[in-house]
């Protein structure tokens, strides 16, 4: 059941009825609607307006958006400054073709983003597009072109991690390992990608391993995979610093990314970090990689960049990649009609200026510590809660049938989906995930409220989530 989709107004003949009375009407509307929804059998909830942390539905429900849609709405909904900036830009110029023109908001947003990397991180260029998938698609092509410009045309392979997700376009999906989303397309996707183990301590760290030993084992596995392919044939290694929806807010063990950075440097392989979900302050620092003490060659961001007010994402390039392009053809051989869209850039710039002015990175970190404590205090002793993990305002709970063995529930139980539904019925939207463990088994829920979330809203979030958990647990015992 989607809780974040906003759809067109229904036909005049359709009347929003109370949720429990809608079933027959919903199927009729789904059949007749011209809009291709994510499901052809179930109608998304009609959102009539939104303000702050809340969504208001056509049936009268008020929903606390505790997942920001999909970790997107970092300022909440209806911010007047962002709306004003968007309207002002539309009144000036709404579109230009970037082959010939640029605009002030595009230039300012790009400068803002590379500045946020700081002198230590050496990000020098921003490429602005519409979605995280597009940003990662551009990053795959930029990485390949980097080596073409250097005459290393034999580099044709990418290495990524299992239980990670990088987008829905064909290239981005190829380097992703969200099995359910790839299933219909497996036979038509390119095969020049290999996958190594996820950095997922709760599931895959051995009982007799320290955190450092686990990280070392993962780095050793990555080295062996590089050597198996032959390092001189590899373009880049792609990873999420904190894995998002596929396995649920999973941070890497201490020292892992430092070892990955050193290994990529040793073999001349580019490091591409996907921060589409975990970046732009979501984990408490502007870039999640800052907490790892490393510098990527390419980083992609999205979701919170426009805060949901506009569709926008970015690929950020380090100076090494940019210098290679400049010394070669002096062009990036990729382009999109709506790249650096002036209205999108103006809205995103307004969002980011508010984040900086109002010290929302610090607030996200502080609220995140509070949310983490509340989750642990409330759920640590719950029978089916296996793990609670996260950084900043980016948290997840993984559910297990047996905490002692960490065995997940059978897929048909859909324990996480039960919690999601119950929470929504109680007025709180969270983000459910399945296939948490290996792409097939396991489930979790993800929590990612706006950076502006109040203490009262955090209390409502956690208390409602506990009520929903209790409903799900009782449903198994009944």
What is the band of 122 on the pLDDT scale with cuts at 50, 70, 90?
A: confident
Domain count, the chain: 2
Q: Same domain for 334 and 377?
A: no
* Domain membership flag for residue 1: no
- Last-in-domain residue among 357, 390, 407: 357
Q: Same domain for 351 and 417?
A: no
Q: No. of H helices and E strands in the chain?
A: 16, 17
Q: Quick one: pLDDT at residue 29?
A: 52
Lowest-confidence region among 153-162, 172-181, 204-213, 269-278: 172-181
Q: Same domain for 186 and 320?
A: yes
Please say if the pLDDT value at position 197 is more than 90.
yes
Please say if the pLDDT value at position 20 is more than 50.
no
Q: Quick one: pLDDT at residue 478?
A: 64
Please say if the pLDDT value at position 175 is more than 60.
yes
What is the band of 22 on the pLDDT scale with cuts at 50, 70, 90?
A: very low
Instruction: Give just the sign of the alpha carbon dihedral 85, 342, 281, 377.
Output: positive
Which pair of structure tokens corresponds to residue 391?
Answer: 């950084």
Counted residue by residue, the chain has a size of 478
Which pair of structure tokens corresponds to residue 39?
Answer: 């499901």
Please say if the pLDDT value at position 4 is more than 80.
no
What is the band of 387 on the pLDDT scale with cuts at 50, 70, 90?
A: very high
Q: Same domain for 255 and 394?
A: no
pLDDT digits (tens, 9 = 90+) for 41-63: 888 999 999 999 999 999 999 99
CB 44 within 8 A of CB 38: yes
Please say if the pLDDT value at position 124 is more than 60.
yes
- Last-in-domain residue among 322, 357, 392: 357
What is the band of 324 on the pLDDT scale with cuts at 50, 70, 90?
A: very high
Q: Same domain for 431 and 446?
A: yes
- Residues above pLDDT 70, as percent of the chain: 92
Q: Quick one: pLDDT at residue 121?
A: 56
Please say if the pLDDT value at position 6 is more than 60.
no
Lowest-confidence region among 20-29, 233-242, 310-319, 419-428: 20-29
Please say if the pLDDT value at position 406 is more than 80.
yes
* Domain membership flag for residue 50: yes
State the first-to-last Cα distance of the chain, in angstroms, to the nearest integer.
24
| CATH number reported for the structural domain that contains residue 190 in this entry | 3.40.640.10
Q: Same domain for 61 and 167?
A: no
What is the band of 31 on the pLDDT scale with cuts at 50, 70, 90?
A: low
Q: What angle do CA 331, 336, 340 make, to 5 degrees?
A: 85
Averaged pLDDT for residues 338-356: 98
Q: Looking at per-residue confidence, does 9 or 200 come out higher?
A: 200
357: CB partners within 8 A, 6+ apart = none
* Domain membership flag for residue 8: no
Averaged pLDDT for residues 14-26: 40
Cα gap 378→271, rounded to integer Å: 38
Cα gap 229→226, rounded to integer Å: 5
DSSP string, 240-258: -SEE-TTTTSEEPPTTHHH
DSSP structure class, residue 413: G
Cα gap 37→2, rounded to integer Å: 10
Q: Same domain for 35 and 88?
A: no
Which pair of structure tokens corresponds to residue 301?
Answer: 């961001």
Q: Same domain for 306 and 400?
A: no
- Phi, psi (degrees; rounded to nearest 5) at 402: -140, 105
* Domain membership flag for residue 9: no
Q: Same domain for 158 and 269?
A: yes
What is the band of 120 on the pLDDT scale with cuts at 50, 70, 90?
A: low
Q: Quick one: pLDDT at residue 10?
A: 32
What is the band of 404 on the pLDDT scale with cuts at 50, 70, 90?
A: very high
204 is in which domain, residue-wise? 82-357
Q: Quick one: pLDDT at residue 261?
A: 98
Round the average pLDDT of the chain to a whole number and report it: 93
| CATH number reported for the structural domain that contains residue 383 in this entry | 3.90.1150.10
Which pair of structure tokens corresponds to residue 377?
Answer: 């205090």
* Domain membership flag for residue 323: yes
CB 5 within 8 A of CB 33: no
CB 1 within 8 A of CB 420: yes
Q: Quick one: pLDDT at residue 398?
A: 98
* Domain membership flag for residue 237: yes
* Domain membership flag for residue 6: no
Q: Same domain for 59 and 146?
A: no
Bridge partners of 313, per DSSP, are: 129
Please say if the pLDDT value at position 117 is more than 60.
yes
Q: Same domain for 343 and 207?
A: yes
* Domain membership flag for residue 11: no
- Residues above pLDDT 90, as percent of the chain: 89
Averaged pLDDT for residues 58-83: 97
Lowest-confidence region among 30-34, 103-107, 249-253: 30-34
Q: Which residue has the tokens 């400068």?
A: 111
CB 228 within 8 A of CB 196: no
- Last-in-domain residue among 332, 357, 382: 357
Lowest-confidence region among 3-12, 46-55, 180-189, 238-247: 3-12
Averaged pLDDT for residues 171-187: 93
CB 292 within 8 A of CB 258: yes
Q: Quick one: pLDDT at residue 1?
A: 34
Q: Same domain for 71 and 136?
A: no
Please say if the pLDDT value at position 27 is more than 60.
no
């Amino acid at each position: 059941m989607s809780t974040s989709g906003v759809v067109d107004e229904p036909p005049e003949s359709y009347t929003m009825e109370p949720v429990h009375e809608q079933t027959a009407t919903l199927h009729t509307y789904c059949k007749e609607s011209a809009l291709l929804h994510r499901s052809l059998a179930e109608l998304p909830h009609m959102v009539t307006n939104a303000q702050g942390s809340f969504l208001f539905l056509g049936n009268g429900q008020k929903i606390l958006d505790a997942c920001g849609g999909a970790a997107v709405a970092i300022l909440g909904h209806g911010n007047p400054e962002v709306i004003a900036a968007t309207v002002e830009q539309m009144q000036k110029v709404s579109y230009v073709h970037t082959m010939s023109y640029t605009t002030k908001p595009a230039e300012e947003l790009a400068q803002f983003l590379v500045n946020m990397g700081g002198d230590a991180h050496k990000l020098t260029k921003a490429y602005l597009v519409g979605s995280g998938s597009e940003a990662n698609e551009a990053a795959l092509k930029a990485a390949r072109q980097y080596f073409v410009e250097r005459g290393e045309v034999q580099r044709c392979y990418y290495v990524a991690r299992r239980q990670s997700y990088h987008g829905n376009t064909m290239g981005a999906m190829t380097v992703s390992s969200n099995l359910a989303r790839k299933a219909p397309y497996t036979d038509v996707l390119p095969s020049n990608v290999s996958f190594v183990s996820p950095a997922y301590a709760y599931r895959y760290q051995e009982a007799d391993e320290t955190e450092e030993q686990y990280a070392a084992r993962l780095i050793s596995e990555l080295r062996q995979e590089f050597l198996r392919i032959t390092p001189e044939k590899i373009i880049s290694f792609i990873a999420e610093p904190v894995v998002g929806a596929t396995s649920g807010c999973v941070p890497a063990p201490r020292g892992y990314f430092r070892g990955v950075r050193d290994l990529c440097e040793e073999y001349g392989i580019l490091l591409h970090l996907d921060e589409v979900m975990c970046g732009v302050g979501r984990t408490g620092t502007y870039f999640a990689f800052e907490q790892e003490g490393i510098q990527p060659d390419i980083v992609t961001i999205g979701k919170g960049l426009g805060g949901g007010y506009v569709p926008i994402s970015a690929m950020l390039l380090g100076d090494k990649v940019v210098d290679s392009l400049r010394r070669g053809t002096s062009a990036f051989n990729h382009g999109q009609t709506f790249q650096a869209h002036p209205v999108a850039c103006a809205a995103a710039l307004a969002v980011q200026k508010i984040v900086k002015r109002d010290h929302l990175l610090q607030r996200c970190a502080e609220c995140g510590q509070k949310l983490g404590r509340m989750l642990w205090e409330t759920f640590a002793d719950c029978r089916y809660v296996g793990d609670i993990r996260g950084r900043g305002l980016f948290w997840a709970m993984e559910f297990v049938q047996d905490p002692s063995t960490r065995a997940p529930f059978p897929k048909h139980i859909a324990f996480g989906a039960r919690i999601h539904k119950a929470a929504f019925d109680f007025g709180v939207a969270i983000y459910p995930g399945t296939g948490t463990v290996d792409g097939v088994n396991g489930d979790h829920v993800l929590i990612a409220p706006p950076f502006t979330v109040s203490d009262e809203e955090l209390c409502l979030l956690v208390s409602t989530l506990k009520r929903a958990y209790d409903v799900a647990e009782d449903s198994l015992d009944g």
